[in-house]
Structure 1
Amino acid sequence: MKDELLRYLHEGRAALLWKLDGLGEYDIRRPLVPTGTSLLGLVKHTASVEAGYLGDCFGRPFAEPLPWMLPEAEDNADMWATADESRESIVRLYHRVWAHSDATVAALPIDAPGVVPWWSAPRRNVTLHQILVHVIAETHRHAGHADIVRELIDGEVGVRPENSNLPPGDAAWWLAYRARVESAARAAPDSPAAPIRE
């Protein structure tokens, strides 16, 4: 069971990092939505979250300080990269977190007890299995965010380099597809763009 869960976690990690490939420093850092989400910020956040869940929660704290995760850190400090935080330093951090997390999974039985101190009292007592599922969901969720952000930057999409998991349409096909989706949205009942029906 652990091997299967780790495979899903490894796939999510790889998908998230892949979204940085081929982009310059500005593009991996720039906020593309009103909440400020950026590609490098997603990597920094996901690394930090994984370090906590698969480290601290099982009495195996990640050895490096993560100042942006301290209680006194400013809100959302883990969600963006400062100008002096390089792509390389954040990616290397994520790789070190992976090694630490994978070592935790290898060292403990799947039903090992843990405690998530930032969860409410009724929920905070957990197992390694529960937290692995949680971290997989979190990682894939943020890989999905990264996919949308990357599409907004340069139109590149897909789940991994060898399999985009998308129909093989060319630019004209995608334009026509998008137009159909837009037309259906406008025609939906109660759509502000729907034609008035008498």
Structure 2
Amino acid sequence: MTLSYPVGRLLAMSASDQKTELRRYLQIARDALVWKLDGLGEYDIRRPVTTTGTNLLGLVKHVTACELGYFGWTFGRPFDERLPWSEQGAELNSDMWATEDESREEIVSLYRRIWAHSDVTFETFDLDSVGRVPHWPAERAEITLHKALVHMIAETHRHAGHADIVRETIDGAAGHTTAYSNLASEDGAWWAEYRQRLEHSARAAAERWEN
């Protein structure tokens, strides 16, 4: 099996280089998540697009609290601002949407301040430093910074993927980053024909395999 990221290269990295690589992947996801808000009005960044209420600004708000949890509280580095939606007794799912009193600027700015707080954790602790996740079961609450980074990379990229679909549903905008779309084509007519071909294939498959 051919790996796109050779294991030998990873093993040859110093601990510092490994940390730099992990931080890079986390930052890509952070930037992508915030970028998905660009160019949309207040209603569209807040409106629930799925049955479970998934919305763009709520995704940013959620990941903000996650970063504070895994890179702040877990490693004994509290933050000097309150996040009421992440405190004991907070309304269920209140970290997944923004109220009319919470501005886009307020939430995005808070996210950036907390990721700066997280970055200090990365600079202060080694990858094998151990912290304790307050909300995890006691038998597995102790984790290394390396595991916390892997966890938050997965978490943030997963929600960036949610944001991709939500944004495309709202106005058709798609792409991986501001500099690199990672799309097969930039031509709208090509995508319309492509989608039509997939629709035709799906219907043909249903007729073949379900009848």
The TM-score range, normalised by the shorter chain, is over 0.9
RMSD: 1.5
Aligned residue runs from structure 1 range 21-100, under 5 A:
21-100=38-117
Deviations 1:32-70 (A, max 9, x none): 111111111000001111111100011112221111112
> What letter matches 2:101 in structure 1?
D
Give the aligned partner of residue 168 of structure 1: 185
> What letter matches 1:177 in structure 2?
Y
The 8 Å contact of residues 5 and 132 in structure 1, kept in 2 or not, is answered as: yes
Correspondent of 2:133 among 105, 113, 116: 116
The 8 Å contact of residues 29 and 81 in structure 1, kept in 2 or not, is answered as: yes
The 8 Å contact of residues 74 and 132 in structure 2, kept in 1 or not, is answered as: yes
Q: SS where residue 139 of structure 2 aligns? A: coil
The 8 Å contact of residues 73 and 134 in structure 2, kept in 1 or not, is answered as: no
> Is 1:13 aligned to residue 30 of structure 2?
yes
Instruction: Select between 152-161 and 111-120 the one with higher mean Cα deviation.
Output: 111-120
Give the aligned partner of residue 149 of structure 1: 166
Q: When the two structures are superposed, what TM-score results if normalisation uses the length of structure 2?
A: 0.88
Q: SS where residue 157 of structure 2 aligns? A: helix
> What letter matches 1:63 in structure 2?
D
* Alignment partners' CA distance in 1, 2:30 and 2:118: 12
Q: SS where residue 175 of structure 2 aligns? A: coil
> What letter matches 1:128 in structure 2?
L
Give the aligned partner of residue 134 of structure 1: 151
Gaps of 5+ in 1: none
Q: SS where residue 64 of structure 1 aligns? A: coil
Gaps of 5+ in 2: 1-17
Question: By percentage of residues, which structure has more helix?
Answer: 2
Deviations 1:76-123 (A, max 9, x none): 100000001000000110010011000011000110001112222332
* Alignment partners' CA distance in 2, 1:162 and 1:197: 43
Deviation at 1:74, TM superposition (A): 1.1
Q: SS where residue 34 of structure 1 aligns? A: coil
What count of residue pairs does the alignment treat as equivalent?
194
Q: When the two structures are superposed, what TM-score results if normalisation uses the length of structure 1?
A: 0.93
Q: SS where residue 165 of structure 1 aligns? A: coil
The 8 Å contact of residues 52 and 62 in structure 1, kept in 2 or not, is answered as: no
Deviation at 1:145, TM superposition (A): 0.5
* Alignment partners' CA distance in 1, 2:59 and 2:96: 6
> What letter matches 1:40 in structure 2?
L
Deviation at 1:156, TM superposition (A): 0.3
